[in-house]
A and B are shown apart, each in its own frame.
Chain A
Amino acid sequence: MATQWKPLIEKITSELVKSLLVAAWFMFLTFPLMVIRVHPLERTIEWRWMNMIYVGVGSFFLSFIWRYLMERKDGGNSKEEGDTWQKRVGLRIRSDKRISLSGLIAIGIFIFIFPFIFSSYQTQIMITALMYVMLGLGLNIVVGLAGLLDLGYVAFYAVGAYCYALLNHHFGLSFWMALPLSGALAATFGILLGFPVLRLRGDYLAIVTLGFGEIIRLILENWNEFSFGPSGIAGISRPGFFGMELSLQEHTVYLYFIMIMLVVLTVLVVSRLRNSRIGRAWIALREDEVACQAMGIDKTKTKLTAFALGATWAGLVGCIFAAKTTFINPASFTFMESAMILSIVVLGGMGSIVGVILGAFVLILLPEYLRAFSEYRMLAFGAAMVIIMVFRPQGIITGIRQRYEFHRNTQKGKAR
């Protein structure tokens, strides 16, 4: 009897010792920053020993979960990609017309009545979430489909916003006139940025785009004659509705429907793009650049279109952002914003449209409703990015790859 239990007890003790060591290590690691708090002016030191206990206990339990997940991941890799339940559900929803149609109708009705059953504040939050859906879908073209890591995406967002704000300020241009202009200008900037970085590989590209984003922000901040500097531009007009005067609440509802329309447009365009000639070229380019060129795909053109089309959406959303807040300044366009959009794409699943929409809702709505934890939001973002990359690099929803299956009896390829 005793011998039977021995391996189990040994296993438990070794796991316990491992976790204890991890806890001790993290307590050591976080000691100066978490425990000691210096007040230089009063020349006093605050000792926060409770924090050390939190860290110790937290890392003790987290290390169990970490190791368990690690083991599961290693075990999962050896297994052939089977029919997981997610895949089955996904396929069923896609293939069964009744389910997908009724689901779509239900979602459509909910979307339509949303601003009328919820408060104006909720609608505002929803508009923000929808803006991030669009930004995520736009970045998804560049990062998810074409595989070009763009860390300066917020620059195009800023270009769109300032385009509308400045045109409105100087020439009184209306929202509907400025919207396409913002998109076009952002696309132009996308191409301008795209040209010099064409020759660069993944990580160099990331750093140059980051630098580009910072350059745009710094110019907006410092070129006072052009952009009014850090104080920004106020009093931007809201979108007009056939010349009618709208109250603030009606404006919110109106903007909500504009957003819904644009998101639907984005989803349509992006999903059509993905299956188009250029979309397939992007995916091919992402997978293998050399093989792609050997197949006769023009690398320059393909990359530039990815940059331009990705930037267009950011420009459009920028224009809407300026119209929504009626005030913009360079502080809204920091690197953190880029990182946020990137984490939406990564968390949702690179290359997957549904995933990006879900990712945007999770990342924007969760912190809104968990107000108490809002200061931990960025901390959680960072941690989530690391954890997702380590354990589920494909994101919440895996982009379903176009696959051709050959059936013997029909001798015909069928796309799935």
Chain B
Amino acid sequence: MDYFLELFLGGLTRGSIYALIALGYTMVYGIIELINFAHGEVYMIGAFTALIVASVLSLMGMSGFSLLILAGLIAVIYASAYGYTIEKVAYKPLRQAPRLSPLISAIGMSIFLQNYVLLSQTSDFLSFPALIEEFEFMEPVSHIMRSSELVIVLTTAVVTALLTLFIKFSRIGKAMRATAQDKTMAMLLGVNVNRVISVTFIIGSGLAAVGGVLISSHIGQINFYIGFIAGIKAFTAAVLGGIGSIPGAVLGGLVLGWTESFATGYVSSDYEDVFAFGLLVFILIFRPAGILGRTTSEKV
């Protein structure tokens, strides 16, 4: 039973990170119907920025909670700036192009960013400082759950709740939903669609950076390639839950996290990624719209 609980909590942590990244995918897809391949790279850049900032600050003598907040904040700002710029350079000129063009442009952007980090930093694994320090909490649970895992799960819950409220009630959130429904109509009603898309990219990238900082601090090492696999898996999570839906992304992330965790725990750890991709293929065959997605009939 303890083993099961351990796997369950491990899957929960992992799934929370997938959910954080998947939110960015799902929001962008909901609005411009594009798989933002470079999203995983934004997550990686967020983690790298946090590593660099944290190293510089800790050499200056800063430590503890304030270091985590400051490094995280700067990482989020930078990741958002990258997300914004990527959209302006690689996707905006292709708004009217056939569907394949922005997708290929996105893959190009992803390769470019990976190699940009590879060349400007290093190809080796860098050890990431444990920004989240161990602390005491509930006695029975703390035996099987590290405090960084608790922080990850709680952060995801809070961020998702805030995002849901933001999209539901804020002005720009309403504009986002309108744009997702019908871009032309939203434009006619005075929604600044370009700004909505920019804001979507900024928020999505910021969330990815939060995920990047948390998971890197938990695992303890990063390299330039972490974004690729994480991006693919997060996309899998978004598709699993039903792309375009925010609760779907979270649910998909958790399902994927648990699948991986239990499959590696009970079957074999070598085939971790095979299970993730296998699940994706399986879901797409039997329920292409995802768990929470609605099947829409195609208009001709």
Give residues in A with beta carbon < 8 Å to B: 25, 28-30, 32-34, 36-38, 40, 43, 45, 51, 70, 73, 143, 147, 149, 151, 196-197, 199-200, 202-204, 206-208, 210-212, 214-215, 218-219, 222, 290, 335-336, 339, 342-343, 346, 375-376, 378-379, 381-386, 389-390, 393
Interface residues of B in 97-151 (CB under 8 A from A): 97-105, 107-117, 119-122, 126-127
Any A CB within 8 A of the CB of B161: no
- Verify A211–B56 contact, CB threshold 8 A: no
Known: A25-B85, A33-B120. A70 touches B93 (CB 8 A): yes
Apart from A29-B85, A342-B104, A386-B105, 16 more pairs, CB < 8 Å? A29-B81, A34-B120, A40-B127, A70-B93, A149-B104, A199-B285, A202-B103, A208-B281, A208-B284, A214-B277, A222-B271, A375-B119, A382-B112, A382-B113, A383-B112, A389-B90
> Which residues from B are CB-within-8-Å of A208?
280-281, 284
Any A CB within 8 A of the CB of B59: yes
From the candidates A70, A200, A389, name the one contacting B104 in the complex (CB within 8 A): A389
From the candidates A40, A197, A210, name the one contacting B126 in the complex (CB within 8 A): A40
- Verify B103–A32 contact, CB threshold 8 A: no
- Verify A389–B53 contact, CB threshold 8 A: no
Min CB distance, A65 to chain B, in Å?
13
- Verify A211–B108 contact, CB threshold 8 A: no
> Which residues from B are CB-within-8-Å of A202?
99-100, 103
Known: A33-B45, A390-B90. A212 touches B281 (CB 8 A): yes
- Verify B111–A33 contact, CB threshold 8 A: no
Count residues on chain B whose CB falls below 8 Å from chain A CBs.
65
- Verify A199–B121 contact, CB threshold 8 A: no
- Verify A211–B281 contact, CB threshold 8 A: yes
Min CB distance, B123 to chain A, in Å?
10
In the complex formed, the residue of B with least CB distance to A336 is B111
- By Cβ-Cβ distance, the 5 closest A-B pairs, closest first, are A385-B108, A382-B112, A382-B111, A211-B277, A389-B105
What are 15 inter-chain pairs, A to B, with CB distance below 8 A? A32-B74, A32-B78, A33-B45, A37-B122, A40-B126, A73-B93, A199-B288, A219-B274, A342-B107, A379-B116, A381-B111, A381-B112, A386-B90, A389-B90, A389-B94
Min CB distance, A6 to chain B, in Å?
31
Q: How far is the CA of A390 from the CA of B274 in the complex (A)?
A: 34
User: Which of B174-182, B210-218, B228-236, B247-255 forms contacts with chain A?
Assistant: B228-236
- Verify B59–A45 contact, CB threshold 8 A: yes
